[in-house]
Chains A and B, each alone.
Chain A
Amino acid sequence: MLIEQLINGLTLGSIYVVVALGYTLVFGVLNIVNMGHGEIFMFGAFMGVIVTNSLGLPLYVAFLVAIIVTGILGYFLERFALRPLRGKEGVSHLAPLISTIGVSIFLENAAHHFFGAGNQPFRTSFSELNITIGSTTVYYVQILIFVIAILLMFGLTFWLSKTKAGKALRASAENLAVASLLGVNTKRVITQTVIIASAMGGIAGILVGIAFNSVNPQMGLSFGLKGLAIIILGGLGNVRGAMAGGLILGLSETFLVAYGNSGYRDAIAFIAIIVILIVRPQGLFGTSTSKSKG
């Protein structure tokens, strides 16, 4: 029982991590909280439903389609909601937040019109397959989710620390103006970052669809808000913090549902951020306080 809950918690947590990484990447480079990320994630989930259920194609095609579609959405988000605000005189630091809220509202209601308001099931051929070790049952789906999440985390860490593009990204995150002076094409780095973050959102969307077997237009909001909570928990713009925060939230939610009052499950994330913002505003893993002005 305990081990099963642990596995459930880790599965949920690793999904949260993938969602939160999308936020953290964008915040790290642009110092912007991308409120539209949750809805891009939701579009990814719907792409999965359409490809596997409606078209009957295999799951890996769903991943490809979701990555492409959410990448394009990410490009549009950067092009129309973020780029016009950059480097403009007299724009308050809240402007990008508000314009990405606009994107989120737009996408959510667009999904209402395209896909309908109800729940869509997300069935895969191996949804019910599981292995039993002793008294614990582990679903293949859970293993898949966990493996993909781990791969993404390592891939991202490797990409950020070892490749040239990753170095350019970190340089831009450090200081956009200096990076630009040193020959980094910051405009491209920014666009690239938003696209990669969005594509990760798309992957997370499919993972959530498989895990919960239900996809609806409102899921972007609930997961998006939790992703926000996680990056605040772990420290804004901090990749390791997002990973730890996601796992902590996933585990604590699962254990609350198993051993406590499940009704308050959705409140944990927000109570945690309110407490963390008061006690330790830089987040669990944040070190710099100069960034706390957001």
Chain B
Amino acid sequence: MLSELINPYYLQVATFILLNIILGVSIYITLGTGQLSLGHAGFMSIGAYTSAILTLNYNVPLVIGIIIAAVFTGFIGVLIGFPALRLQGVYLAIATLGFGEVIRVLFINWEGLTNGAIGIRGIPHLGREILSFSESLGFSPGMIGLKNNQFVSLAVFLVLLIISIGVIWFFIRQSNSRIGRAFASIKMDEEASEAMGINITYYKILAFGQGALLAGFAGALYAHLTAYISPSDFGYHRAVEILIFAIFGGSEVIWGPIFGAIFLSTMPEFLRVISEYRFMIYGALLVLMMAFRPQGLIDTNVVNWIKRPRLKKKEGKHGTGNKKDK
């Protein structure tokens, strides 16, 4: 019965939506301090290549490879964060765009390590690793009436779901903490926050590093989900796609990029026309959003409006995670 309900294709789509959510959150963190980064595709590729090379060439276990990749990308993000501090607005956007391009050109030319423009094949697949792990424990998908590919897709989806919920939960907690309030204050007015005694250098680099870490983490997951990566997967279009999740959904609250990622990744599945003209629609969307709703579809007002009736029921308790259905 379970086997009839599980369609590997839908699960795969859902898995990539979850991946996009993580990417959306990663740009939201950086935008949260008023820094516009177009280098997230570059960070993503660093994560993807690090994990792919570690697991393929050095037989590092997959989980450790992903963790090392994320931490390493976060470290690069901090390194980039220092010079980025000197830049603002447009300058930062172009410099990070340049950073992404330099990384891409580097990966194309560093053939000994990255296999150049052809890309890396045969990266250990997350789902198959889970399958072989569970088989080594004496469990086979047949025991719960599933085919192997169904089990693989289901396992990958569940793992990604747990990871994304963890990530979202962490950053919601963070936004209600000292750090989150410092981020919000820096975004509002940098000079005023500095006068209030907020260490701008520390928090801006923290935000940049966190964004990079998360993008690298998503990149590593991407490498192990598709089992194939090439430098062209992480170009300018990817950077814009990540940015548009946050711009369309909204970058004021964390639900904005999450909604943006879900909506923009789901639409092409329902309307084939959309998938053909996807980037044209993205482009038009960016222009329209800036003209009519620059803060994105979901802002604090929308969140408050959605929360209000539920707050009454709970007698004014502070709930945070009421919008799972969005």
Determine the chain A residues whose CB is within 8 A of the CB of B283 once the complex forms. 101-109
Determine, out of B57-65, B264-272, B286-294, the stretch whose residues face the partner at the interface: B286-294
Query: Within the assembled complex, what's the spacing in Å between the Cα atoms of A93 and B36?
Result: 11
- CB-contact partner of A266 in B90, B105, B289, under 8 A: B105
- B280 close to A281 (CB less than 8 A): no
Query: Within the assembled complex, what's the spacing in Å between the Cα atoms of A261 and B291?
Result: 44
Nearest A residue to B290, CB-CB = A99
Determine the chain B residues whose CB is within 8 A of the CB of A99 once the complex forms. 286-287, 289-291
| Distance (whole angstroms) from the CB of B187 to the closest CB of chain A | 10
| Distance (whole angstroms) from the CB of B201 to the closest CB of chain A | 15
Determine, out of A165-173, A251-259, A268-276, the stretch whose residues face the partner at the interface: A268-276
Determine, out of A65-73, A79-87, A131-139, A184-192, the stretch whose residues face the partner at the interface: A79-87
Query: Within the assembled complex, what's the spacing in Å between the Cα atoms of A99 and B282?
Result: 11
Determine the chain A residues whose CB is within 8 A of the CB of B280 once the complex forms. 105-106, 109-110, 113
- B106 close to A267 (CB less than 8 A): yes
- B106 close to A96 (CB less than 8 A): no
Known: A270-B102, A274-B102. A103 touches B88 (CB 8 A): no
Query: Within the assembled complex, what's the spacing in Å between the Cα atoms of A221 and B90?
Result: 17
B76-122 contacts to A, CB under 8 A, are 83, 86-91, 93-95, 97-99, 101-102, 105-106, 108-109
Determine the chain A residues whose CB is within 8 A of the CB of B291 once the complex forms. 80-81, 84-85, 99
Q: How many residues of B contact A (CB 8 A)?
A: 39
- B93 close to A97 (CB less than 8 A): yes
Determine the chain B residues whose CB is within 8 A of the CB of A221 once the complex forms. 236
- B290 close to A96 (CB less than 8 A): yes
Query: Within the assembled complex, what's the spacing in Å between the Cα atoms of A228 and B102?
Result: 14
Determine the chain B residues whose CB is within 8 A of the CB of A269 once the complex forms. 98
B261-320 contacts to A, CB under 8 A, are 277, 279-280, 282-287, 289-292, 294
Nearest A residue to B247, CB-CB = A98
Determine the chain B residues whose CB is within 8 A of the CB of A263 once the complex forms. 105, 108-109
A245-294 contacts to B, CB under 8 A, are 261, 263-264, 266-267, 269-271, 273-274, 277-278, 281, 292-294
Is A91 located at the chain interface by the 8 A CB criterion? Answer: yes
| Distance (whole angstroms) from the CB of A268 to the closest CB of chain B | 9
A39-89 contacts to B, CB under 8 A, are 80-81, 84-85
Query: Within the assembled complex, what's the spacing in Å between the Cα atoms of A277 and B88?
Result: 11
- A33 close to B90 (CB less than 8 A): yes
- CB-contact partner of A228 in B36, B86, B94, B240, under 8 A: B94
Query: Within the assembled complex, what's the spacing in Å between the Cα atoms of A101 and B246?
Result: 14
| Distance (whole angstroms) from the CB of B200 to the closest CB of chain A | 15
Is A125 located at the chain interface by the 8 A CB criterion? Answer: no
Determine the chain A residues whose CB is within 8 A of the CB of B284 once the complex forms. 102, 106
- B287 close to A232 (CB less than 8 A): no
- A294 close to B89 (CB less than 8 A): yes
Query: Within the assembled complex, what's the spacing in Å between the Cα atoms of A266 and B101?
Result: 8
Determine the chain B residues whose CB is within 8 A of the CB of A273 once the complex forms. 94-95, 98
- B83 close to A277 (CB less than 8 A): yes
Query: Within the assembled complex, what's the spacing in Å between the Cα atoms of A228 and B291?
Result: 24
Query: Within the assembled complex, what's the spacing in Å between the Cα atoms of A145 and B91?
Result: 31
Is B46 located at the chain interface by the 8 A CB criterion? Answer: no
- A294 close to B287 (CB less than 8 A): no
Query: Within the assembled complex, what's the spacing in Å between the Cα atoms of A106 and B106?
Result: 28
| Distance (whole angstroms) from the CB of B136 to the closest CB of chain A | 43
Query: Within the assembled complex, what's the spacing in Å between the Cα atoms of A124 and B287?
Result: 37
Is A229 located at the chain interface by the 8 A CB criterion? Answer: yes
- A92 close to B294 (CB less than 8 A): yes
Known: A94-B36, A267-B106, A271-B102. 19 other contacts (CB 8 A): A33-B90, A80-B287, A81-B290, A84-B292, A91-B294, A95-B290, A98-B247, A99-B287, A99-B289, A101-B283, A106-B282, A221-B236, A228-B94, A263-B105, A267-B105, A270-B99, A273-B94, A277-B95, A292-B88
29 A-B interface contacts by CB (under 8 A): A33-B93, A80-B291, A85-B291, A92-B294, A93-B89, A95-B290, A95-B294, A97-B93, A98-B290, A99-B287, A99-B291, A101-B283, A102-B282, A102-B284, A102-B287, A105-B240, A113-B277, A113-B280, A221-B236, A228-B97, A261-B109, A263-B108, A267-B106, A270-B97, A273-B95, A274-B98, A292-B91, A293-B89, A294-B88
Q: For the complex of A and B, list the 10 residue pairs with the smallest distance between their C-beta atoms, beginning with the closest.
A: A102-B286, A106-B283, A270-B98, A105-B283, A294-B90, A99-B290, A84-B291, A263-B109, A267-B105, A102-B287
